[in-house]
Amino acid sequence: MQNGTEAKIRQDLLLEIQTLEHHHHILLAFLTGTDYAPATVGNSLQAFKDSLSRASTYVLALYNLKGQQINIPWESLFSNLDYALTALSVSASVTQRDAVRTILAMSKEQIQQVLTYFVALKKSLTT
């Protein structure tokens, strides 16, 4: 039973990592100047945040299955993503998009660390 549960969690986690990578690509392009529509940026922000939340839950579940605990240290990143989403929901003006770029720029290193972690995890899950 546990092996089936673990396999399902691993499969779901791999899908979430793919989602994170996809939306990270869009957010990084936006951050470096690609002019996406505000709805595209907002959708990618929300999808990245939701996927990060689910992926974190799967990581916690995998560790719990093995009787281990782990601390997920990216609460401040969730807050920054919320700020960016709020800025976009207020207005789609150039000023708001610049505010979102600023928030993402402040979070860029943390986003990269999260992606580096999940890419390494993805490799370990597929080997």
Chain centroid to CA 85: how far? 13
d(CA 112, CA 25) in angstroms, rounded, equals: 11
pLDDT score of 69: 86
d(CA 25, CA 60) in angstroms, rounded, equals: 25
d(CA 47, CA 23) in angstroms, rounded, equals: 7
pLDDT score of 113: 94
Q: Indicate if the pLDDT at residue 118 is higher than 70.
A: yes
Q: SS3 of 73, please?
A: coil
* Of 10, 18, 27, nearest in space to 77 by CA: 27
- pLDDT tens readout for residues 71-101: 888 889 999 999 999 988 876 677 788 889 9
CATH among 1.20.120, 1.10.20, 1.10.3470, 1.25.40 for 2-126: 1.20.120
pLDDT band for 105, please (50, 70, 90 cuts). Answer: very high
- pLDDT tens readout for residues 53-72: 999 999 999 999 888 988 88
Residue type, 76: S
pLDDT band for 2, please (50, 70, 90 cuts). Answer: low
| Domain spans, the chain | 2-126
